[in-house]
Structure formats: C-alpha cells, structure tokens
Structure 1
Amino acid sequence: MTNQEIAEDLLSRFGENVSAFEEPWGLLTFTTNRQNIITLLDYLNKHETFRFKFLTDLTGIHLPDNQGAEFGVIYHLHSLENNVRIRIKVFLSQDDLHIPTASTVHACANWMERETYDFFGIIFDGHPKLIRILNIEEMDYFPMRKEYPLEDATRQDKIDALFGR
C-alpha cells in the first residue's frame, strides 16, 4: 500500500473535500474541512485495506498570520497492519473554533481533545466532558496561542551578545 494509492482512493471518495496532498519525509499529509473530518476518519478506520485504526496523536496549531484559518487541528493516524502513517489537517478561523469530536470514532481522542482545548481553546462539539485537563479551570487564557510576547522587553539584565544576537 503506497501513499499514492491512499491519495487516489481518498480523492475518488471525497473529491474536493480533500486537498493539499504532500509527502514531507514520506508521511502522506493532506487537508480536509470540519464538515467531513468525522466521515473521513470513520472511512479510514473501517476501510478493508487501509485500516487506520490507531489515532496516534491529535493536537492543535496556531498560525496567527494565516488569515481566515488561524487555527488547525492535526490528526495523526497509523495503520498497524500495514505499518503506514498519515496526517490530516483541518484549519479553522479564529472567529469559529468549533469542530466535531473524533471520540465517536476513536475513543482515545477524548483526552487528546481535552488537551487541545486546554492549550488552544478549540471547541470539540459533542465531546462528553470538554474541560481543562492540565491547567486550572480558573485560567482565562490558552497558553499555546501565539498571542503573547516571547520575551519581556522591559528586562535590562539581558545582554543580547550572550544569546547569539
């Protein structure tokens, strides 16, 4: 089973709802939309040949300069039988950070979605218990968003030459 075979199968099944196919370091990567992500995950899980039954990772990404698609949810799937991995990306606008929960297809998505919500503020609709998992409930911000300066510009004790600048 090759990346080409998987891509062709997905294109024939989902058409324009899957796009931006690439293979960085041999890992088939493509993009879909939030309306089709659960159908796509279910299809890959139940496919008689592909059998992508293991959701290795689910996480978020914040790209503040990506106008209209500032946040992404990234899914890593593994077919243990075929020893093949793929990555699926879904991009969301910062004005509408909702995406359906994948816990209906992969039970392990439950905790991964809670972590992604906790750090990025992405809301997984239909999640059984979408609350913070690592940070305190009273926290009113999401620490992995690129909304904060990396350094304190008011510090006077840093010598840039010591940091390779």
Structure 2
Amino acid sequence: MSERDDEKKSAADTVKPGTGEVGAQSTTSAALEAGGQNVPAGPRGGRTQLEVVDVRRGMFGVHGSGDTSGFGGLVSPVAMPPASERPYGGWFDEVVDVLVELLEGEGIDPDAAIEKVVVDRGELTIFLSREHLRRVAQWLRDDQDLRFELCLGVSGVHFPNDVDRELHAVYHLLSLTHSRQLRIEVTCPDADPHVPTLVDVYPGNDWHERETWDLIGIVFDGHPSLARTALPDDWVGHPQRKDYPLGGIPVEYKGATVPPPDTRRSYS
C-alpha cells in the first residue's frame, strides 16, 4: 500500500463513527480528526460513513517554499457522501421511480445508467453513467412528471486521486412546473475526458460547456463550437485542475515586480 493510500485509510477511519482512547495525538492525526468533524449527519443524527478520495495538505496546492499563507500544516480529507438508501424522502423517490420506469421501458438496465443516488443536506444528486446522460436529460426536460425545463449550466470538478473518475461534470436543473431543483453528476477518467454535449437539450449550456472545457478539460462531444473562452487558443493545459502548476508570469506594477506564486519564498 502506497503512502497516499495509507493517508486515505487514516482519513477514512477518522470520518466514520468509532471508539478510541482519548490521548495525545500527532499534529497530522489531530488535523485529520478535526477535518472529519465537518461531515454531514446521517438520517437519524448518526455520522455517515463517507468515501475518502484524497487528503489535502497545505493550502492553494503549494508545496515547498512557495507557501507563504501560514497554512502549510493544514490537513483535510476529501470525502464524498455514499449512496443513500430508500426511502429518500419527499419527491425524491418519485423522480427516481419515474427515471427507472423510463429506463426499463427503453430496455436499459437502471443499475447501468444510474450509478448512485445521493441525498445530502436536503438536496438530491443522481450520478449517471455518461453513456446515458443525454437520453436521461431529454426525459428530465420533457416528461410530464419531471419537467426540469431549465439547466443552470455545467461545472467541472477535478479529483486527481479519484481513480478512473478524476473529472466530474455537474449539472443543476430546475423545474419551473413543479418548483424543484435537482443535481446530475457524471464522471469520466482523465485518460478519456469525454462527455456528450447537452446543448441540443439545454441550449443555454453552450457557453458553460465551453468554459468547462477551457478551465477543466472535459471534452463535450457534439458541441457545435468547443473552444477556449478565457485563455488563448494555443494555451497548454487547463488551469482549474488541482494538479495544474501554480506558476505564472512576473507582474510589473508601478515600478515594482510581483513574482509568480511558485517562486515566492516562505517566511516560516
């Protein structure tokens, strides 16, 4: 087991319920435990077992002498809520039941299309396989019992150590008919960063998909004009990824020069 896997296991032990003797702790253990307190409560007030996908150290992703924030010793586990169990509560069950019915009607195995359903902090998130994203999005918009007519855009999230699921595309949907909000999430590996476009279903996603491609690097297959929005066309890399180097170009301002973040020396 690698050092990174050891850290994940240690953090996972921290964020789950358990017993242990109260005694002296190392700084790392104490920090992990402190981070583990800030997790969502279970349905009856018990702590929910979370899936730890990474352990972050420091702040802003800086390593070595570049961290001048004073937070170099910060340790925080990156934990994901697990799949929720039925009943989800409220209208959440109705929406999932309708999707399952529609999938079965098309001869699609619902377990193959819906990876998991998460109810956390009063919000519903449905994780879909990318192969079925466009079909499900069409149902979510058009079916009379769903009617999520508005997509508020798509955002990209990068989890470098979530193996084979490093890139997440997150869609926020709104039903004006039923006054409901829903989150759809799909994942893809860094080695194959492709997700089908939803511009033909939700035309307002045009610019959002371009921005997500520009900054995160998710390729939206079928997009009418996938291109950079903030960076030059010949720019290499996607700067909102967690592993993107925190470098830069020296900035000159009124005779003074501000060096790139990764070259600033530490004062600790």
* TM-score normalised by the chain length of structure 2: 0.56
Q: Greater relative contact order (Cα 8 A, min sep 6): structure 1 or 2?
A: 1
Name which of 72, 88, 93 aligns with 2:184: 88
Deviations 1:32-80 (A, max 9, x none): 1111000000001001121101001211110011001110111110001
Map residues 23-62 of structure 1 onto 2, 5 A cutoff: 23-62=119-158
Moved over 3 A (4+): 148-155
- How far the C-alpha of 1:129 sits from its partner, in A, is 0.5
Task: Look up the match of 1:158.
Answer: 267
- How far the C-alpha of 1:110 sits from its partner, in A, is 0.6
What residue ranges of structure 1 are gaps of 5+ in the alignment?
160-165
Q: Distance in 2 between matches of 1:39 and 1:126?
A: 14
Contact kept, 8 Å, 2:206 with 2:223, in 1: the verdict is: yes
- How far the C-alpha of 1:6 sits from its partner, in A, is 0.6
Contact kept, 8 Å, 2:139 with 2:146, in 1: the verdict is: no
One-letter amino acid of the counterpart of residue 83, structure 1? S
- Please tell me whether Structure 1 or Structure 2 has the larger radius of gyration of its CA atoms: 2
DSSP-derived class of the 1:23 partner: strand
- How far the C-alpha of 1:8 sits from its partner, in A, is 1.8
Q: Distance in 1 between matches of 2:262 and 2:205?
A: 39
Q: Distance in 2 between matches of 1:126 and 1:154?
A: 41
Task: Look up the match of 1:162.
Answer: none
Task: Look up the match of 1:13.
Answer: 102
One-letter amino acid of the counterpart of residue 197, structure 2? T
DSSP-derived class of the 2:121 partner: helix
- How far the C-alpha of 1:150 sits from its partner, in A, is 5.7
- How far the C-alpha of 1:98 sits from its partner, in A, is 1.0
What residue ranges of structure 2 are gaps of 5+ in the alignment?
1-89, 104-109, 248-260
Q: Residues 108 and 153 of structure 1: is their aligned pair in 2 closer, same or farther, counting only changes over 3 Å? A: closer
Q: Distance in 2 between matches of 1:156 and 1:107?
A: 47
State percent identity of aligned pairs.
31
* TM-score normalised by the chain length of structure 1: 0.89
DSSP-derived class of the 1:113 partner: helix
Task: Look up the match of 1:2.
Answer: 91
DSSP-derived class of the 1:111 partner: helix
Q: Distance in 2 between matches of 1:131 and 1:158?
A: 41
- How far the C-alpha of 1:148 sits from its partner, in A, is 3.3
Task: Look up the match of 2:44.
Answer: none
Contact kept, 8 Å, 2:238 with 2:244, in 1: the verdict is: no
Q: Residues 135 and 154 of structure 1: is their aligned pair in 2 closer, same or farther, counting only changes over 3 Å? A: closer
DSSP-derived class of the 2:169 partner: strand
Q: Distance in 1 between matches of 2:219 and 2:262?
A: 33
Q: Residues 110 and 67 of structure 1: is their aligned pair in 2 closer, same or farther, counting only changes over 3 Å? A: same
Q: Distance in 1 between matches of 2:198 and 2:176?
A: 19
Considering only aligned residues, what root-mean-square deviation do their CA atoms show, in Å? Answer: 1.8
- How far the C-alpha of 1:11 sits from its partner, in A, is 2.6
Q: Distance in 1 between matches of 2:126 and 2:159?
A: 17
